[in-house]
């Protein structure tokens, strides 16, 4: 299998993970506080969702929208469609943001004390896999 095929496979994986993560975030909005708790977002977010505050919904919607955009770009690149505007730059930027998020959790954790240890380890591991898939795929597509 050539590097182009492996690159499209990596970007297809990235697109799928992005889409699943976006749907998981939307599920938190739809299901409310219990979903925020299961996802490990912290008791403060869960209680705010229970109280009907707008902040959990807005934060979660912004994250879901970013993930959906990443899924769109990675999916278009994986399908070898005509390049989207700034496709390679954005895919590499997505990879860099995800890599920083994955590796920076020890410094981020004190800022979000309600988030569970499981949340930090699982979400950081997922972000690392997503970063590698986006970055490697975009780099190999050239």
pLDDT in tens, 42-87: 888 999 999 999 999 999 999 999 999 999 999 999 998 888 999 9
- Residue 95: CB atoms within 10 A of its CB come to 23
Question: What are the residues whose beta carbons fall under 8 Å from the beta carbon of 138, sequence distance 6 or more?
Answer: 7, 11, 77, 87, 88, 91, 92, 95
In 32-104, where does DSSP find H-type helix?
33-38, 43-50, 54-78, 87-103
Q: What is the pTM of this model?
A: 0.88
Q: How many domains does the chain have?
A: 1
Domain encompassing residue 84 = 3-141
């Amino acid at each position: 299998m050539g590097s182009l095929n492996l690159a499209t496979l990596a970007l297809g994986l990235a697109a799928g993970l992005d889409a699943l993560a976006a749907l998981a975030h939307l599920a938190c909005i739809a299901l409310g506080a219990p979903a925020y708790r299961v996802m490990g977002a912290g008791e403060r977010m869960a209680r705010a969702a229970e109280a009907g505050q707008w902040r959990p919904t807005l934060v979660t919607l912004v994250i879901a929208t970013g993930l959906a955009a990443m899924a769109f770009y990675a999916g278009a690149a994986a399908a070898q469609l005509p390049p989207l505007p700034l496709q390679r730059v954005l895919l590499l930027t997505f990879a860099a943001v995800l890599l920083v998020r994955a590796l920076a959790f020890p410094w981020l954790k004190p800022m979000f004390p309600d988030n569970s240890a499981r949340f930090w380890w699982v979400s950081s591991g997922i972000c690392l896999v997503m970063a590698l898939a986006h970055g490697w795929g975009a780099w190999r597509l050239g």
